[in-house]
Chains A and B, each alone.
Chain A
């Protein structure tokens, strides 16, 4: 495996690939005296799985959050489908997250008061979909992710692995264009981690959703099409030899 500065995806397609779905350019972000991103750039293309890797504190999560419009960068731009996310209002960014993005984090993203089924229906209900079709879609995803049996339980009553699969179902139920996964297996044992990753990637492939996968584990990164290394807030693309 050798490190390159060009996109492996573009290389594979002879530089004639489709337009980037999501592009972060020259991103900078500091938290007080700490620089998290130092002119980092990354492009995500439709349907690909990109692993963002790096050591702890390298800025990989900050890059994901900037790309998802969760936190605004200090400098640089993020374009989604040609639109500058930074120029959007809070309401527009909320709508974007609801409509086109899905999220799977390490833990804490499920609403503890709602059942697993209600958690999966939540983005659909917030978007104004009636309860029945929302629940029908949610049930299908829970079944696909093999957690139908916990649909009536609350997140606090299910195991970590089951909770993460519910989170994956919630991330995918709206048919997002991009799924952001920040250390999705960080709190799971290896067996459960493998299972969640397998389901996440295969489901994303089936729906043609791109996946931005932040991880520091090589075995998790192995599920990706290409890998990007973040070190000291800068991105470097790695050419995959697998």
Chain B
């Protein structure tokens, strides 16, 4: 007699949670190849999302740490009694398009302040360098650089003294520096302390809006991917749950089992995401985006956000499964969808878009531009608009597909399939649409912003390739002589400058409003594109659109260079001559605008001014385009002048100010992020396509048996993927352009539609379709084998 075991007669529901959970885990991890595939895909999806979210959650800490270190390096020139100041001359060294920042330092006493990151000031002919600069100097690539740093390297600058690990930084020791008179760099002074209170740096509101839109555009597809990952093998799961119901599992019991199943991939995804994040964190110093990198120690997610991610991901994963089952009645005979087929409601989907547009309209261009409320309106409006894209797509696709009829068999198969279930493909391409809409909007805004920040990927001037050598009037001739020997210097214009303020201005020292520039007629003709110039003439250059601030007869006070104590010396007065010649600076000249904001005098016109010898001078060097590394050659050629020259390449990254750098960083991050999220969306599409093939294995085999050619079914797959994507691209282009237009209308920028970039993004999406279809074909071929028809 075979043993039978009577099932307990008491209700098991109340005690079944742990068992249900265990069964869910068992089904998730021990179900053979399909289970593993589902688990792996889910884990990868959730893991990627977690890693990206953790990086996002670390962003504020990265910025904060960076700012804190930048603040710690800031210098105080206010006299502190009892402190022997450190004489400090800041210089920049161009190197292969990058910039090496540094300072010549000299301690005037035993308690002279020391910059952060080093323990003591280097002595004369000694230098301390950042690890990145040390590596560069030791490498073959740094051979050209070594002549500029003949000093003995006596130490390495620690993390506390750098903004990021890729910083090229040095402190060179020197003997006592002159305490008065002009020095090559305008950043020289007696330093009494390093470091200032944090919180003075705030990000430009426009950049903040760009960053927020970027974050929304990148995060929504990630959430979509997590949700799609949770739905992998949904039909198979339904069948499994129906089988469980047949043997007596209760309705809520199967939901708990399904939730436990999805929790497993959420858990493994969290672990994978955590590990991936640690990997990214470890690699952070090596990840260099246009000279912007970060220390591993800075990549720490904010604790509340990290906790939120750890809680949110499993909740989202389980929530997605339960949400997908909300209208599903799992019965022992199978799964039925409850109630009447629900037509997608449009009101809340359109509501999001209307809300977005409304908020963007509320943010009028006014005095509130840049205020917190303005940023909230813009960011909120843009987010609502972007979230509206994946919300409206399923409705739109359902309506459009519902009206399509006829066509070739492959087209019919695809259309009928989409008519049966357009929700899942629409959700997946919703991710693509958000990426595209966000990327297009950002690209258009960046296109406009690029004009504002004057950052172009290619120079549009007729006379590009300039190196500015800052020096003093006393050393100017020697510098010019040395420059003349360098083949990289094609042409040199010597410019001498005195600063001035209005004669009756109460501010006598801190704010120099005007420049009085003295240079030769030849240089004036070359730089300002003036046809005729005679010695004795004075010119008043202005750029198009600039307000006219200077009039003949204006009286100014002239000041000499700042000395070590940061005190400029009053030299005398100057009156703008009545015969000053107004000059419109051509837009095609790079250097012309640098002469704006003052008067330009020929030597004859400056003769009576009795200009002091300690005035600033600079050599504007037009480089030879045939010479590789012209700026480096010039810096090397002038290395012997040490702190007496400051070489700046106008093409070097260091020519960018803080906002420009932030802008460049955001642009790079957004472009990389767009590609990454497009890839995520592509993986979602591939998973969906493979899933469909697997689910329809038998009908596909039947079609093959009936003689339907493989190419027809392949084309059907292509249409099934392509139709939603094409619709997504159309919606995305419209939304992207609309969003950009709405945001740009509030700024002084002009919307220019960059069809080339839009074409690239749309093309990338279509390439993704082809790629997904191509990768699905092997599975289709396998599914169409007639052996799939066998049941016994």
Contacts and interface: CB of A to CB of B under 8 A. Distances in A.
Given A70-B331, A70-B333, A154 B19 contact: no
Interface string A112-146: 11100010001111111100011011001100100
A99 B249 contact: no
Interface stretch (A40-48, A172-180, A233-241): A172-180
A65 interface: yes
B350 to A, nearest CB: 35
Given A70-B331, A126-B12, A174-B5, A97 B248 contact: yes
A127 B7 contact: yes
Interface band, chain B: 35 or more
Contact of B5 (A105, A126, A173): A173
Contacts, number: 140
Given A94-B251, A97-B248, A111-B27, A123 B7 contact: yes
A98 B247 contact: yes
Contact of A127 (B26, B240, B248): B248
Interface string A146-185: 0000000010100111000000001011110000000000
B785 to A, nearest CB: 16
Interface string B15-41: 110010001001100111011000000
A97 B12 CA distance: 13
B436 to A, nearest CB: 38
A223 interface: no
B583 to A, nearest CB: 82
Of B7, B13, B19, most A-chain CB atoms within 10 Å:
B7
B5 A122 contact: no
Contacts of A111: 27, 240, 243-244
Contact of B32 (A65, A90, A113, A129): A113
A134 B247 contact: no
Contact of A122 (B3, B8, B247, B251): B247
A108 interface: yes
Nearest to A69: B332
B791 interface: yes
A232 B179 CA distance: 113
A159 B35 CA distance: 21
A137 B792 CA distance: 28
B276 to A, nearest CB: 28
A126 B249 contact: yes
Interface string B280-313: 0000000000000000000000000000000000
B6 interface: yes
A90 B333 contact: no
A206 B3 CA distance: 11
A21 interface: no
A91 interface: yes
B36 to A, nearest CB: 10
A128 B4 contact: no
Contacts of B16: 126, 128
A222 interface: no
B769 to A, nearest CB: 32
Chief secondary structure at chain A's binding surface: helix
Contacts of B333: 65, 70-71
Interface in A59-75: 65, 68, 70-71
A88 B245 CA distance: 16
Contacts of A159: 792
Contacts of B250: 90-91, 94-95
Given A91-B250, A128-B15, A160-B791, A99 B244 contact: no
A94 B249 contact: yes
A51 to B, nearest CB: 21
B340 interface: no
Contact of B11 (A91, A137, A160, A175): A91
B244 A126 contact: yes
B317 to A, nearest CB: 19
A87 interface: no
A228 interface: no
B380 to A, nearest CB: 44
Interface in B240-296: 240, 243-251, 253
Given A112-B240, A129-B8, A203-B2, A94 B248 contact: yes
A168 to B, nearest CB: 11
Interface in B770-792: 791-792
A95 B11 contact: yes
Of B30, B35, B251, B792, most A-chain CB atoms within 10 Å:
B792
A118 B247 CA distance: 13
A127 B15 CA distance: 10
Nearest to B7: A127
Nearest to A110: B243
A126 B251 contact: no
B792 A133 contact: no
B31 A113 contact: yes
B456 interface: no
A80 to B, nearest CB: 14
Of B26, B248, B332, most A-chain CB atoms within 10 Å:
B248
B4 A175 contact: yes
B342 interface: no
Interface string A77-95: 0000000000000110011
Interface in A185-223: 187-189, 192, 203, 206-207
A91 B13 CA distance: 8
B369 interface: no
B143 interface: no
13 contacts: A70-B332, A94-B253, A95-B12, A98-B7, A99-B248, A105-B246, A123-B7, A125-B19, A126-B16, A126-B19, A128-B19, A137-B5, A140-B2
Interface of A: 65, 68, 70-71, 90-91, 94-99, 103, 105, 107-114, 118, 122-129, 133-134, 136-137, 140-141, 144, 154, 156, 159-161, 170, 172-175, 187-189, 192, 203, 206-207
Lowest 10 A-B CB distances belong to which pairs?
A98-B248, A113-B31, A175-B4, A127-B7, A160-B792, A94-B250, A97-B248, A123-B247, A99-B7, A137-B5
